Amino acid sequence: MKIGYSFWGFLGNGITDTPDGGRSHRRPLVDALLGRGHEIVFLQANRDLIEADDDLRNAYTFHSGTPDIDVLFLEWRWAIDGRNTTPCRTAGHTCDLHRQAELVTRYTVRRKTPTVIWDKDRQLRLDSVWRRVPQAAVCEAALEPTPGAHRLLFPVDDRLLAGADPVALARKPRDLALGYIGNQYDRDEHFDRFFAPAAARFDHLVGGKWTKTSRWPHVRFLGRLPFEAVHAVYSRSLATILMLPERYAAVGQMTQRIFEAVLAGCLPLAPADIRHVDQFVPADLIVRSGQEVVDRLSYLRQIAGTQEHADLIGACLDRLDLFRLSRQVTALEAVLDTAVDPVAAERGAA
C-alpha cells in the first residue's frame, strides 16, 4: 500500500541541537516497510536536507502537499508552547503541529483516509477524539497500551542482534562505570534515586539536554552530543540506568536507550518500579535504590571481561528479541491492514 508518513525528525544523523530519539529506529522501520513492497512518501519537512544538508532524495520520497495515499501514518505531535504553537515564520517556530493538523484535516476528516497514530511519547489524551474515529487506529510503544490501542514497540534491526557478540563486547576496555545519554524530560525522580548516588562514587558522564542540574553539582553533564557519539559513549561505559518518565514506567514503555546500550555491551540497570521490568533485563540488573546501583556497579567491575560478564550481556541481548524489527513490522502491517480494510482483516483472522 502507499503510506503517507508524517514524522518530525531525521532519517540520518541530523543535527546535534535537537531531541529526536527516533533516529535509532525510524530508518530501519521505513526500510523494512519498503522491503516488504510498500510505497512511502514523507509528508513533513525534509529536515535531513534543510537542517543537516543530508540529501536522501535518491532513496526516499518527500512531498509538501497532499498526494494520493492509501493510509496516513503519524508519529504523533503535540502542542509545545513557544515552539509549534507560535505563528508560522516567527523566531523559534517549528511547523510540525500545523502540518499535522493540515494532514489529519485533509486526509482523516475530509477524505476518510485510514489513519494510524503512533503515540510514541504518550501525549494523546485518553479522551481524544482520534481514539474514537472509525477510520483511525492508535499504536503505543508500551507492553500495556491504553485499552483500544495497539502495541508497536521501538524496533531494533534484526541484523544488529544477529551480529552482536557478547564475549567480544565483554572484553572491550571500559573507562566509565556509568554512562547515560538522554534528555532530562520528567526523569528527575529516577535520576535522584538511582543515578546521582552512584555518580558520587564512580566515573561517569551524562549526555543530553539537562537544564536544571544545580542539585547535582557532582555529576558530569556534557550537554547534547551528536547522534553518532551515542554508541561511542555506551561503548566506554560498563553500565547505564534505564530512567523513564512515570507515564512510561507505569505501562512498561521502554525507550530505544535499552538497545542503544546493550548493542554496545553497556549493561542496563533497570529500576524495579518499571512495569514488567523482568521482560527488559535479567533479575541481576533490577535495582530498587541508589545503594543497590552502587553495589551492582561494584560487582560488575569485579567481573568485567569475564565469561560471567559476557553471559549477562547475552541475557540482555536475548531480551531485545521483544523489540526485533521483523516483529514490529509485522505488528504494524496488521494494524495497517485493519485500518485500510477492517472487514477483510477480521475475516482473515477468523
Query: What is the per-residue pLDDT across 200-237, written as a single tens digit (0 to 9) for each?
Result: 999 999 999 999 999 999 999 999 998 889 999 999 99
Cα–Cα distance, 345 to 350 (Å, whole number)? 9
Residue 175: other Cβ atoms inside 10 A:
8
Q: Which residue bears the cell 476528516?
A: 109
Residue 337 backbone dihedrals phi, psi, to 5 degrees: -60, -40
- The pLDDT of 81-93, averaged and rounded, is 90
Q: Is residue 296 a contact partner of residue 239, using CB atoms and an 8 Å limit?
A: yes
The per-residue pLDDT for 70 is: 97
CB 323 within 8 Å of CB 154: yes
- Give 16's pLDDT tier (boundaries 50, 70, 90): confident
Q: In this model, does residue 350 exceed pLDDT 70? A: no
pLDDT at residue number 82: 87
The structural domains of the chain, ordered by start, are 2-155+324-349 (3.40.50), 158-323 (3.40.50.2000)
pLDDT on residue 19: 66
Alpha carbon distance 8, 14 (integer Å): 11
Helices (H) and strands (E) in the chain, counts: 14, 13
pLDDT of 348 over the 70 cut: no
C-alpha distances out from residue 75 to 9, 175, 261, 319, 348, Å: 10, 37, 24, 25, 27
Say what the pLDDT of residue 196 is. 97
What pLDDT was estimated at residue 92? 87
Per-residue pLDDT, 15: 85
Task: Count CB atoms within 10 A of the CB of residue 343.
Answer: 8
What average pLDDT does the structure give for the chain? 94
- 79 by Cβ neighbours in 10 Å (0-12 / 13-18 / 19+) ranks as exposed
Q: Average pLDDT, stretch 93-117?
A: 96
Mean pLDDT of 170-181: 97
Q: Indicate the pLDDT class of residue 105, thresholds 50, 70 and 90.
A: very high
The model's pLDDT over 29-63, given as tens digits with 9 standing for 90+, comes to 999 999 999 999 999 999 999 999 999 999 999 99
- Residues with Cβ within 8 Å of 308's Cβ and at least 6 positions away in sequence, in order, are none
Q: Which pLDDT band holds residue 345 (cuts at 50, 70, 90)?
A: very low
What pLDDT shows up at residue 17? 67
Q: What is the percentage of the chain residues whose pLDDT exceeds 70?
A: 97
Mean per-residue pLDDT, 141-147? 97
Residues 240, 267: contact at Cβ < 8 Å?
yes
Indicate if the pLDDT at residue 291 is higher than 90. yes
Residue with C-alpha cell 528527575? 188
Q: For position 346, what pLDDT does the model report?
A: 52
Q: Write the DSSP string, 263-310.
A: TTT-EEEEETTSTTGGGTS-GGGEESSHHHHHHHHHHHHHHTTSHHHH
The answer to whether 72 and 103 are in contact (CB under 8 A) is: yes
DSSP 156: B
